[in-house]
Amino acid sequence: MKDTPNIVEILWEEEKLGKLASMGDIVKRKKAEQAIKHSLGFEKTISVVSSLFILNYNNDAALNRSLDEMGSFTGASRVHLFLLRGNGTIMDNTHEWCKEGVSSQKHNLQSISAEMLPWWMGKLRNGETIHIEDVSKMPSEANFEEKMLGVQGVRSLLAFPLKIGEKLNGFIRLDNVFTTGKWSYEDFAILRVCSEIIGNVLERRQMEGALRESEERYRAIFEQSLDGLYVHDFEGNFIDANPVALKMFGYTKEEISSLNFSSLLDEGQIPMVWGAINGLLMNEADKGTTEYHLKRMDGTYVWVEIKTSVIYRGGKPYGVQGIVRDITKHKWMIEEYKKYQWEIEQQNIKLKELDSIKSNFLNMASHELRTPMCSMKGYVQMVLKGSLGEITKEQKKGLEVVLRNTNRLDTLIQDIIDAYQLESGAMKFIPEKTDLQKMMKEIAETMKSSADLKEIKLNTDIIEGLPDLFIDQKRIKQVLINLVNNAIKFSPDGSTINIQAKKEQSDVLFEVQDFGQGISKDKQNMIFETFYQVDSGMKRSFGGTGLGLSISKDIILAHDGRIWVESTCGGGSTFRFTLPIKPVKDVEDRFKEVDVFRLETERGTKREEHVIQRG
Ligand code: ADP
């Protein structure tokens, strides 16, 4: 409804001088006019402040201008923007606007500890507006705040928090340094709306700062990485490459920016790149790496290993990032390794061929050498016995030498064949039930003639009631004969040799004791090694091959027994070995495992320990 004012005409001596409206109407109209003006001012302030930031949100000038607008609108003496740092523990007055003639306080309001203002900060953290009509009448818990504000000459104030999410980021404070009194509803409103606009601006500014920092960090990592890094778009056109990648590719940054990844590849590899890019785009991110043979600018090639992933900008796929490593050396080493492996395989083939030649030779040797040896021995023995007619004493002596040497030759051939058979696992091994009394007697009889030659007395002590053993009798006899043979060989004429067998717990213990030259401590383990002889070289005074003890040891180990020696230099030696009473299973298989020539060092060592331990 239209409001018509109550107008009275003013007359002077019948003349119309003017019209007079009543006072009540004027006040009403003034108020209405003021309200319109205020509302226009309010809208103007808001639109100026927001447009400032739309146009230039990052500029301090925009903040200063906003404070100016707020101050002008509210009639405040000063407007301050405070920001918190150090996780909300320290505040600084970063921006300030002062009415003409009002002194600035900004320089006094830097690095203030938030802890000193618990009442003030508590309210702001709760998101409350602080409205103080009279600074001199602040509550007692705000004692410090009151003093501080007093020093700044503040009489009344209005403050509003700036929050990012739940976190207090700072606040805006309107001061009146002239009078105390209430701040108006419009002042509240303008402070609140402007604080929200400024709060949003600051939040954006903070986020952009963080983004810039993370971009800078990424750039630093990209540039300084020890791995090659590059980025290309989904067509393969290079966008960027770091110094390591550039060095690997052999191009400068400018040159690479006009290149496509495929131009570094030979034809055949190009489909691999598209396959990889498509895989990445279809989210089949290849977790592994791909190897490429890259063509560098100077025409040389480099082998690289590349791991790719999609990178995003603003939430959208931006390109493909590759981590590239030079594996040329690694590749070369693999190639070399393969070459060596091939050479070793070839050598193994050759060795096998040689082995088979050796095997054939030994086969041939065993037959072709031993057969005539047997007939030679037979005929010599027959002549010696006089079966082919009378012979003279000199002829007999000569034939005895022939027979001795034929025997030695036969033993040598047999030892070599045995050692080879042990090594190759080809030795036939036939366990049988064995009467030990009988076996020992036979050995004593066999060895008697050799002992007699040196007038050595053989003492055989076989304890009665020894159990029968399930052993390869021929092989165990071979061991005993070798031990007795050695005892005779290394004993002086006219001495004694004791041969003994007795039961010891679950084993039968065999002993061959002589009182000959003995073996020094440091040689006692070595004598069980193939071809080892204490007295070796051209000066040696005893015959033999150095194979006997090595063969003996393997035969005993195959029977699950132990063999060792106790000896003192000049005091004689006692060789001992054990055989288990319980029959040994899979003897032949065990036998195949022995490594007579110590080709497998580790096993050789184990067996060495075995002997030392027991010995
Ligand atoms: P060979 O007797 O054919 O030389 P062996 O393997 O039987 O081979 O013996 C190896 C070495 O051990 C002998 O050459 C000798 O030096 C030493 N040896 C063996 N038995 C005795 C012993 N009873 N007394 C002293 N030395 C011995």
Q: Is the pLDDT of residue 31 over 90?
A: no
Question: Taking 80 as the threshold, does the pLDDT of residue 126 lie above it?
Answer: yes
pLDDT of residue 371: 82
486 CB less than 6 Å from ligand 1?
A: yes
- pTM exceeding the 0.95 threshold for the entire prediction: no
d(CA 74, CA 158): 11
Minimum mean pLDDT among 388-397, 419-428, 523-532, 560-569: which range? 419-428
Test site for ligand 1: of 489, 541, 549, 566, most ligand atoms within 8 A of the Cβ: 549
The per-residue pLDDT for 40 is: 73
Q: Looking at residues 22-35, what average pLDDT do you find?
A: 66
pLDDT confidence bin for 68, thresholds 50/70/90: very high
CB hemisphere CA count around 184 (13 angstroms): 10
Residue 444: what residue type? A
Q: Tell me the pLDDT tens digit for each residue of 545-596.
A: 788 999 999 899 888 899 999 999 999 999 999 999 987 666 556 555 554 4
Question: Is it the case that residue 38 has pLDDT exceeding 90?
Answer: no
Distance from C-alpha of 70 to C-alpha of 41, rounded to nearest angstrom = 10
pLDDT band at 370 (very low <50, low <70, confident <90, very high): confident
The pick from 527, 542, 552, 553 for probing ligand 1's pocket by mutation, whose C-beta has the most ligand atoms within 8 angstroms, reads 527
| pLDDT computed for residue 508 by the predictor | 95
**Which alpha helices (DSSP H) does 167-288 contain, by range?**
185-224, 243-249, 253-257, 270-281
Q: Decide: 573 in ligand 1 pocket, CB within 6 A.
A: yes
Instruction: Tell how far the Cα of 536 is from the centroid of ligand 1, in angstroms.
Output: 10
Evaluate if residue 171 carries a pLDDT over 90.
yes
**CB neighbourhood size of 194 (10 A):** 24
Element (H, E) at 538: none
User: Does the beta carbon of 514 sit less than 6 angstroms from any atom of ligand 1?
Assistant: yes
Residue 571, classed as helix, strand or coil, is coil
Nearest CA to ligand 1 atom 8: 546
Residue type, 243: P
pLDDT at residue 106, rounded to an integer? 95
Regarding the beta carbon of 548 and ligand 1, being less than 6 Å apart is answered: yes
pLDDT at 115 over 70: yes
State residue 287's pLDDT score.
56
Q: Rounded mean pLDDT of 225-235?
A: 92
Hey, what are 145's tokens?
């705040």
Mean pLDDT of 456-481: 91
Tell me if 419 CB under 6 Å of ligand 1: no
Cα of 177 vs centre of ligand 1, distance in Å, is 119
Mutate to test the pocket of ligand 1, among 486, 514, 534, 569 (most ligand atoms within 8 A of CB): 486
Question: Which ligand 1 atom minimizes the distance to the CA of 544?
Answer: 3
User: Can you tell me which atom of ligand 1 is nearest the CA of 546?
Assistant: 8
Indicate whether residue 516 lines ligand 1 (CB < 6 A): yes
Model confidence over 501-541: pLDDT tens digits?
999 989 999 999 999 999 999 999 899 988 788 876 555 56
HSE (side-chain half, CA atoms, 13 Å) at 456: 29
> Is 431 close to ligand 1, i.e. is its CB under 6 Å away?
no
Query: Cα(423)–Cα(429) distance, rounded to whole angstroms?
Result: 13
Q: Please state the φ and ψ torsions of residue 319, each to the nearest 5 degrees.
A: 180, -170
Give residues with Cβ within 8 angstroms of 508, minimum separation 6. Answer: 436, 466, 467, 469, 501, 502, 578, 579, 581
Which tokens belong to 212? 């810039």
Distance 486 CA to ligand 1 centre (A): 6
| Pick from 119-123, 178-182, 231-235, 530-534: least confident | 530-534
Q: Can you give the pLDDT at residue 256? A: 92
Distance CA 458, CA 496 (A): 6
Predicted local confidence at residue 585, as pLDDT: 65
| pLDDT surpasses 50 at 346 | yes
| Strand duo 496-504 + 507-514: pairing | antiparallel
Tell me which residue of 80, 58, 91 sits closest to 205, measured CA to CA: 58
Q: Edge-to-edge strand order for the sheet containing 507-514?
A: 457-462, 496-504, 507-514, 572-580, 563-568
The interaxial angle of helices 548-558 and 473-489, nearest 10 deg, is 150
What pLDDT score does 5 carry?
47
Q: Give 8's strand partners.
A: 20
Q: Is the per-residue pLDDT at 312 higher than 90?
A: no
Please state the φ and ψ torsions of residue 562, each to the nearest 5 degrees. Answer: -130, 150
Identify the band that residue 19 occupies on the pLDDT scale cut at 50, 70 and 90: low
> Three-class SS string for 261-304?
HHHHCCHHHHHHHHHHHHHHHCCCCCCCCEEEEEECCCCCEEEE
Start-to-end Cα distance in the chain:
130
3 state SS of 76: coil
pLDDT above 90 coverage of the chain, percent: 49
**Average pLDDT score, the chain:** 84
Does the beta carbon of 77 sit less than 6 angstroms from any atom of ligand 1?
no
What dihedral angle (degrees, nearest 10) is formed by the CA atoms of 533, 537, 541, 546? Answer: 30
Rounded distance between C-alpha atoms, residue 609 and residue 615, angstroms: 10
